[in-house]
Amino acid sequence: PYHFQTTNLKDVTKEIILKEAFRIIKENGVVIIHGYTELPNFDHALLSIFINWVKNVYTDIETSSERKFKEELLKAGAKEAKVFVYKGHLFGIGYK
């Protein structure tokens, strides 16, 4: 799949997009976002080499922590936010 190399589309930031999403959805509506978890640092001979390679190759993909993901949803206008992690993917659900 195609991924934007950055979450900034000229002057439109991720924060602006999320705020607009919460502005236009109905009361009790839901906004769902997707992202990637941060890659862990391992002190392991083989895993360290692989993880460092991945970090060097995929420099344009933004990663986030669960806490940061939840804060972004709440800052954008969610009354409640839940974040789930599944195999390196973050799914954030914000309720209006």
Least confident of 12-16, 18-22, 82-86, 87-91: 12-16
Q: What is the pLDDT of residue 1?
A: 44
The average pLDDT across 57-81 equals: 91
Tokens 């895993």 — which residue?
47
Residues 6+ positions from 2 with CB-CB distance below 8 Å: none
How far is the C-alpha of 22 from the C-alpha of 17, rounded, in Å?
A: 9
Q: What is the pLDDT of residue 52?
A: 83
> With contact defined as beta carbons under 8 Å apart, do 95 and 78 qualify?
yes
Q: What is the pLDDT of residue 8?
A: 59
How far is the C-alpha of 55 from the C-alpha of 28, rounded, in Å?
A: 38
Q: Please indicate, yes or no, whether the overall pTM of this predicted structure exceeds 0.85.
A: no
- Please say if the pLDDT value at position 87 is more than 50: yes
Residue 83 token pair: 């974040």
